[in-house]
Structure 1
Amino acid sequence: MTPAPRNLVTDIPGLRVGNAADPRLKSGVTVLTADMPFAAAVHVMGGAPGTRETDLLAPDKLVSQVDALVLSGGSAFGLAACDGVMAGLAAAGRGFAVGPARVPIVPGAIVFDLLNGGDKDWAENPYPALGREALAKAAADFAIGTAGAGTGASTGNLKGGLGSASARLSNGVTVGALVVVNALGQATVGGTRNFWAAPWELDGEYGGLGLPPAFPATDEPAPVKRLGEATTIAIVATDAALDKAGLQRLAIAAHDGMARALVPSHTPFDGDLVFAVSTGARPLADPVADPFLLGHAAATCLSRAIARGVHAASPAPGDLQPCWSSLRA
């Protein structure tokens, strides 16, 4: 497993990501899309998810492909970002064909960032416009850290953010991850600067600090956010040809990466979920070994993406939490 050129989920050919944010709001939207519809599935392990159109991603449901996936801040208000993305896709002639009508398929998930110091006293829900803007900006290169849906994200002790990572496997397949880190748990070990995801780091991508001298094995963590305030939402993607059932298994495996990078994770207070995406460009060479390898790679990429999102967070006026970069060495 080696890093792909951008170290972003868009190292998978055909995928594009767009960010839009309002610094005054301290919130934003991130959209993953492609030139053609793509297969997708989802798996939820957190106790407080906020989602839209996820039921249709089940393997037994009719729709086999989607046009975009939306990650948004704003709690339930942020689900309206999908409306803006749908409008932009419809204007481009995209969508599920039902006779002469076309309906863009845009599942989404949200994080709670309403109490992060931003101005939430809006007269009109800002998320549809942010969703459409993010779609319009979708490209192969995009910012991580305090960007898009990660603009107002937080963790148990530090600012969170938008993270991404990718890897090229020995069989030629590419795997990537995109994540909004807004967790109840911590991405760093105790009071150190070291990341829980340190064993999976490639090329010093989040500081190269390695493992801490000791792990707080006897600690009993307490929730530092209230019910519904925490969620980590992610997308793992590959160019390997997987159907919705295979992608659901990939999403399940990817949750291991969340648990490796955030402690604790999958709590009753988090809405942790993972979407899984396939462009279908590469047939599986080995139907047994390849899915096994893909699950491990997806978990590893998600761990790395989580650490990269926190590592890349930048300070902004009114912040309620420090950034990783402000911690003393």
Structure 2
Amino acid sequence: MPDITSITQIPGVFAGHATHAEAGTGCTVVVFPEGATGAVDVRGGAPATRETDLLRPEETVEVLHAVILAGGSAFGLAASCGVAEELERRGCGLDVGVTRIPIVSGACLFDLACGDAHVRPTLADGRAAVSAALDGAGAPLARGNVGAGCGCTVGKLAGPERAMKSGLGEDVEQAGSLVCGAVAAVNACGDVLDPDTGARIAGMRTAEGALGSSVEALLGARAQMPLARTNTTISCVIANARLTKAQATKVAQMSADAYAHAISPTHTTNDGDTVFVMATGEVEAALDVVGALATRALGRAIADAARSAEGAFGLPAARDLV
């Protein structure tokens, strides 16, 4: 199998963005027109999500047609309706006789304090993201200050003035014919680490502007949790493996460990951390192999979100630090 560098190169997978650069918000959609087996793991204390209950293994809906990651906090959930409407217009979804109903799950992050708090992803943005995904088929997914990553920031435990710009990251890993890709919009209150080396990439800065440690500051009572429920990392993992809903749920649970590898601290009371998993069903693979590969991809996607970001809204990005 040739090397795959973007999830858009995985057969049956399409992805696109709608971005409001000046307002610091947007949305990212991953589309599976033929449907895929979906699952979710929610570990954060303040999630804003859509259609996560139907992804439980005991529920009867077996396919998911799209996952949307959006800014705008709870307001951003409106964009998911646009995704559903555009997919219906294109004839994608469950056939219920009178129409087709696309099954769309999603999660939102809080970016209202980054740019313009009164601009949020809308119904039209959801439609636009689907159009970008399906009409631009095969183009690599843009990363950094785009889509759901447009208004992302990290390292907020010492206040917004010492935070850093983050964004949307992607990574694809392969093991033989098995492919696992991940997309992550990283808006954590903690720091972003390289999951392979533990090196700090972005996060809370010291008074001198150097990278500090959020955990050490927190334990030393030199930092406080920011305004409640204003942080989260939301992700989608895509695997070409053949999985049941129960197996996909286990992969989601395993993949969530990538947050602990790449974010410090993670899963706090102020983070709405959520991981979706989509399995397209082409390859037979051992469940633990899928989980391990997916975890690696997600950890590296989180790191990529910090490395791909550009400084904006008065905040530096990792590339700006000496």
TM-score normalised by structure 2 residue count: 0.87
- Are residues 1:324 and 2:318 paired? yes
Deviations 1:21-58 (A, max 9, x none): 01222100000002311110001111110001110010
Q: Distance in 1 between matches of 2:98 and 2:250?
A: 35
Q: CA deviation at 1:200?
A: 8.7
Contact 1:73 1:112 in 2 (8 A): yes
The counterpart of 2:174, out of the listed 139, 155, 168, is: 168
Q: Distance in 2 between matches of 1:270 and 1:58?
A: 22
Contact 1:19 1:134 in 2 (8 A): yes
The counterpart of 1:312, out of the listed 290, 299, 308, is: 308
Q: Distance in 2 between matches of 1:50 and 1:3?
A: 37
Q: Which has the higher strand share?
A: 2
- Are residues 1:96 and 2:86 paired? no
1:11-22 paired onto structure 2 within 5 Å: 11-22=9-20
The counterpart of 2:126, out of the listed 123, 131, 139, is: 131
Q: Distance in 1 between matches of 2:197 and 2:245?
A: 30
Contact 2:16 2:30 in 1 (8 A): yes
Change (3 A) 1:3 1:45: farther
Q: Distance in 2 between matches of 1:109 and 1:24?
A: 22
C-alpha RMSD over aligned residues: 2.3
Change (3 A) 1:17 1:253: same
Match of 2:160 in 1: none
3-state SS in 1 of match to 2:148: helix
Change (3 A) 1:4 1:46: farther
1:213-228 paired onto structure 2 within 5 Å: 219-221=216-218, 222-228=223-229
Match of 2:244 in 1: 243
The amino acid that maps onto 1:314 is E
Match of 1:294 in 2: 290
Q: Distance in 2 between matches of 1:54 and 1:146?
A: 26
- Are residues 1:184 and 2:178 paired? no
Change (3 A) 1:3 1:127: farther
- Are residues 1:63 and 2:61 paired? yes
Match of 2:266 in 1: 265
The amino acid that maps onto 2:180 is V
Change (3 A) 1:216 1:58: same
Match of 2:118 in 1: 121
Contact 1:11 1:174 in 2 (8 A): no
Q: Distance in 1 between matches of 2:18 and 2:198?
A: 29
Q: Distance in 1 between matches of 2:226 and 2:90?
A: 41
The number of residue pairs the alignment matches comes to 297
3-state SS in 2 of match to 1:143: coil
3-state SS in 1 of match to 2:216: coil
Contact 1:4 1:166 in 2 (8 A): no
- Are residues 1:153 and 2:141 paired? no
Match of 2:207 in 1: none
3-state SS in 2 of match to 1:137: helix
Contact 1:200 1:303 in 2 (8 A): no
Q: Distance in 2 between matches of 1:150 and 1:225?
A: 20
Percent of aligned pairs with the same residue? 38
Contact 1:11 1:176 in 2 (8 A): no
Q: CA deviation at 1:274?
A: 0.4
3-state SS in 1 of match to 2:92: coil
Q: Distance in 2 between matches of 1:246 and 1:220?
A: 39
Contact 1:3 1:166 in 2 (8 A): no
Q: CA deviation at 1:10?
A: 2.8
The amino acid that maps onto 1:149 is A
Structure 2 residue runs of 5 or longer lacking an equivalent are 156-162, 202-211
3-state SS in 1 of match to 2:164: coil
Change (3 A) 1:3 1:255: farther
Moved more, 38-47 or 96-105: 96-105
Q: CA deviation at 1:99?
A: 2.5
Q: Distance in 2 between matches of 1:92 and 1:220?
A: 51
Q: CA deviation at 1:67?
A: 1.2
